[in-house]
Structure 1
Amino acid sequence: MIKKILLVLVAIIAVICIIASFQSDDMNVTRSATTTAPPATVFKIVNDFRQWDAWSPWSKLDPTMKKTLEGPPEGVGAVYKWSGNNEVGEGSTTLVESKPNEKVGMKLAFVRPFAGTSDVQFTFTPEGSGTKITWAMQGKKPFVGKIMGLFMDCEKMCGDQFNEGLANLKKLAEAAPKA
């Protein structure tokens, strides 16, 4: 009887692994929001890690998260490192591209809960008298990520956090003093 149960479990695990192996290696998440603030205002907030706690959805998930900033205070070379609870994990974000009022590009490196890297871009497109903010992230899914994706919608979970962050960013940008 135990042998049959073990064989069934092994078969189930094998089927899950086979199905996961056919999942895409690529992970892409993109969300957008529109604000009445001009591109320069939104760019200034995103380009400066010192302002991230005011709008980042992950800061609220672990208010006691340890954070350090390295390099210049803003722009290319600025580094934000964090280590927190299981909801936020540990890693670093490095600004690798900074085009005033247009784009901020980042390299995101996770240490835990799973090691991995992703490329992140914030783009700021004039729209009417305001700005369309697009937050995009691309990376490779490790095999364990493919398995997890069979049981939970990781794109939606991350996308929901992007939406929350964009809503917070919009409020912050619209409350900023007008230039």
Structure 2
Amino acid sequence: MFKKIAIGFAAALLLLVGVIATRPDTYTVTRTTTVPGTPDIAFGLVNDFHQWNQWSPWEALDPNMKKTFTGAEAGVGAIYGWTGNDDVGEGRMTIEEVAANESVRIKLEFIKPFADTSITTFNFKPATDGTTVTWTMAGDHNFMSKAMCLVMDMDQMIGKDFEKGLASLKTAAQAETTKRAEAEAARKVAEAKAAEAKAAEEAAAAAPAPAVAAPTP
């Protein structure tokens, strides 16, 4: 009896391994949304890791997460490392390629709880009501990640985080758009006041001098 159970278990295990092995070797997760403002606003929020605290879906998972910023201040060569609780683990991101106001390519390296490397890209395109932002992650599956995908695939696991992050990016872009609009309005008011003051000065300078009454004999 035990031998039959062992054989049955081995057969089931081999079948499971076979099924896992047939799973796709790569994965891609993509989400798209439209955010307010011109492409340079959303691009700036992504291209500078110091701005990620405004919208990243993982920032709030560990308030005590330790972050490091090395390399370039922003753009190509900027590196963002993190170490936190079980929800965020440990890893780093490196900006590898940038097209100003159009795209950002990032190498994403997970260190803990498991080692994995993927490529993340952000694309920005002008839209009638703002900027269309597309966030994509692509990588390779190892045996363990293939096994995990039998229960929940990468799109399900990461897609919700992307949606949450893009919603927060929309809020951050709206705040920056409003800030810029207010600054522009204030600039125009200041320019109008300066023009009025200058016109008043020029009018006063052009006005004829008041006549001086002749002294009475």
Same fold (TM over 0.5): yes
Corresponding letter in the other structure for 1:178: R
Paired residues of 1:38 and 1:129 also in contact (CA < 8 A): no
Corresponding letter in the other structure for 1:161: D
Which structure has the higher relative contact order (CA within 8 Å, separation 6+)?
Answer: 1
Secondary structure at the counterpart of residue 147 of structure 1: helix
The whole-number CA distance in structure 1 between the counterparts of 2:173 and 2:128 is: 16
Secondary structure at the counterpart of residue 114 of structure 1: coil
Query: Which residue does 1:56 correspond to in 2?
Result: 56
Secondary structure at the counterpart of residue 151 of structure 1: coil
The whole-number CA distance in structure 2 between the counterparts of 1:3 and 1:67 is: 54
The alignment yields a C-alpha RMSD, in angstroms, of 1.4
Corresponding letter in the other structure for 2:17: C
Paired residues of 1:83 and 1:91 also in contact (CA < 8 A): yes
Give 1:2 deviation, angstroms: 4.7
Q: Deviations over 1:52-93 (max 9, x none)?
A: 122111111122111111011110000001111222121110
Give 1:5 deviation, angstroms: 4.1
The whole-number CA distance in structure 2 between the counterparts of 1:44 and 1:81 is: 19
Alignment equivalent of 1:178, drawn from 180, 183, 188: 180
Query: Which residue does 2:84 correspond to in 1?
Result: 84
Corresponding letter in the other structure for 1:69: F
Q: TM-score, normalised by structure 1?
A: 0.94
Q: Which moved more, 1:10-19 or 1:166-175?
A: 10-19
**Structure 1 spans left out of the alignment, 5+ residues:** none
**Structure 2 spans left out of the alignment, 5+ residues:** 182-217
Corresponding letter in the other structure for 1:107: K
Runs of 4+, deviation exceeding 6 Å = none
- Would you say how many aligned residue pairs link Structure 1 and Structure 2? 179
Corresponding letter in the other structure for 2:95: L
Taking a change above 3 Å as real, the CA distance of residues 38 and 19 of structure 1, as seen in their structure-2 partners, is: same
* Counterpart mapping for 1:153-164 below 5 A: 153-164=153-164
The whole-number CA distance in structure 2 between the counterparts of 1:97 and 1:23 is: 30
Corresponding letter in the other structure for 2:173: A
The whole-number CA distance in structure 1 between the counterparts of 2:13 and 2:151 is: 13
Paired residues of 2:29 and 2:154 also in contact (CA < 8 A): no
Q: Deviations over 1:113-148 (max 9, x none)?
A: 221111110000001141000000111011110011
Q: Which moved more, 1:146-155 or 1:18-27?
A: 146-155
The whole-number CA distance in structure 2 between the counterparts of 1:65 and 1:9 is: 43
Give 1:30 deviation, angstroms: 0.5
* Counterpart mapping for 1:75-154 below 5 A: 75-154=75-154
* Counterpart mapping for 1:7-86 below 5 A: 7-86=7-86
Secondary structure at the counterpart of residue 97 of structure 1: strand
Structure richer in strand, relative to its length:
1
Corresponding letter in the other structure for 2:77: G
Give 1:110 deviation, angstroms: 1.1
Paired residues of 1:108 and 1:120 also in contact (CA < 8 A): yes
Taking a change above 3 Å as real, the CA distance of residues 64 and 11 of structure 1, as seen in their structure-2 partners, is: farther
The percentage of counterpart residues that share the same residue type is 45
Q: Computing the radius of gyration over CA atoms, which structure comes out larger, 1 or 2?
A: 2
Give 1:3 deviation, angstroms: 4.3
Give 1:98 deviation, angstroms: 1.6
Paired residues of 1:108 and 1:119 also in contact (CA < 8 A): yes
The whole-number CA distance in structure 2 between the counterparts of 1:85 and 1:17 is: 31
Secondary structure at the counterpart of residue 57 of structure 1: coil
